[in-house]
Amino acid sequence: MPKNKNKKIIQTDPCNGCGICVSVCPVNTKLAKGDGFDEYSASLAIYVINGGAVINDEICTACGTCSRNCPVGSLSIIETTGQATA
């Protein structure tokens, strides 16, 4: 999936840590189908740590699947300028 450079996913509300976002992410699914996949050492587009969603902007394509499937509305898609911030 190509990366949408003008959008990104952010956590805007408290996450309940259910992990639905992790399981529905098409990037994570594609990565998991590879040979030798290790869920504990893999770089995923989205994962849950300590009850909160963590989005890896380097891998996430901002497709919005996680946001649409989040049962508590914790994730949002925002428009970006495409410029890096410090």
CATH code, domain carrying 71? 3.30.70.20
**Total Cβ atoms within 10 A of residue 79:** 10
- Residue at 46 is within a domain: yes
Under a CB-based contact definition with an 8 Å cutoff, are residues 17 and 74 in contact?
no
**Total Cβ atoms within 10 A of residue 81:** 8
In sign, the C-alpha dihedral spanning 75, 79, 84, 86 is negative
Of 67 and 38, the one with more pLDDT: 67
pLDDT tens digits, residue range 46-78? 999 998 999 999 889 999 999 999 999 999 999
In the predicted structure, residue 83 carries a pLDDT above the cut 60: no
- What is the C-alpha to C-alpha distance for residues 75 and 47, in angstroms, rounded to an integer? 12
86: confidence class by pLDDT, cuts 50, 70, 90: very low
- Residue at 84 is within a domain: no
In the predicted structure, residue 35 carries a pLDDT above the cut 70: no
Check: pTM over 0.75? Answer yes or no: yes
- Residue at 36 is within a domain: yes
- Residue at 19 is within a domain: yes
- Residue at 39 is within a domain: yes
Instruction: Give the chain's domain count.
Output: 1
